[in-house]
Amino acid sequence: MSIWTLVTPGREACENGSGICTVAAGGRPSGWRRRDFLACFLGNTGINRMPPELVRKAVSASAMVFAVLGLLLLFAAEDLSGLLGPESTNHPLLQLLGAALLGFAAMNWIARGSALGGIYGRAVVAGNQTHLTVGAILLLKRALETDHPHWWLWAVAALYGLGAGYFNYLAFFRTGIEKQS
């Protein structure tokens, strides 16, 4: 049995956030979306509550952070490789990571004025979501496994964790457009 909620323009997913949602078996009627069931179940807390200005500022900030990290890795790979351990010869891989981060920075900077979340800007949100979530998990794992991790490892892991949470929010709990009153 599939669970769906009816979403019509100008209406909430559930009446008064009561948690009572429509259960429909069989095919998917047009205008019904599965992901709105979670908002209905949680009483519509958090879906589409972020103003577009805040989305623009957050995506711009992520673009700037990615640009700084990318430029550091691209041009100071040899200096930064000393932080990874003695005799590290991963300079080309660090420069390649820097180039990828510069690509993310450019993508986010270009998309900062677009509608993001839900089905809008899905490629931008999914790319950031995947990179930041996997990166946060790997950095946290590395910080916990190392006997005496550097402070920068915890700082970058925290930045990645914040970014992962934000882009996961955009992917799963935001529709990407402003609600019409």
C-alpha angle 26-32-35 in degrees, rounded to nearest 5: 100
Q: Is residue 101 within 8 Å of 70, Cβ to Cβ?
A: yes
Residues 114, 160: Cα–Cα separation, whole Å: 22
Task: Identify the residue whose tokens are 């990166």.
Answer: 135
CA distance 141 to 107: 28
The kind and range of the H/E element at 126 are: helix 122-145
Quick one: pLDDT at residue 126?
92
> Which distant-in-sequence residues (6+ apart) come within 8 Å of 77 by Cβ?
90, 91, 92, 94, 95, 98
Return the bridge partners of 6, or none: 32
Give the pLDDT confidence of 79-116 residue by residue, as tens digits. Answer: 877 776 666 667 788 888 999 999 999 999 999 888 88
The average confidence (pLDDT) of the chain is 75
Sequence ranges of the domains in the chain: 2-41, 52-173
What predicted TM-score, i.e. pTM, was given to this entire model?
0.64
Structure tokens at 16: 């008064």
- In single-letter form, the type of residue at position 53 comes to E
Measured over the CA atoms of residue 15, residue 17, residue 18 and residue 19, the dihedral's sign is positive
pLDDT beneath 70: ranges in the chain: 1-50, 84-89, 175-181
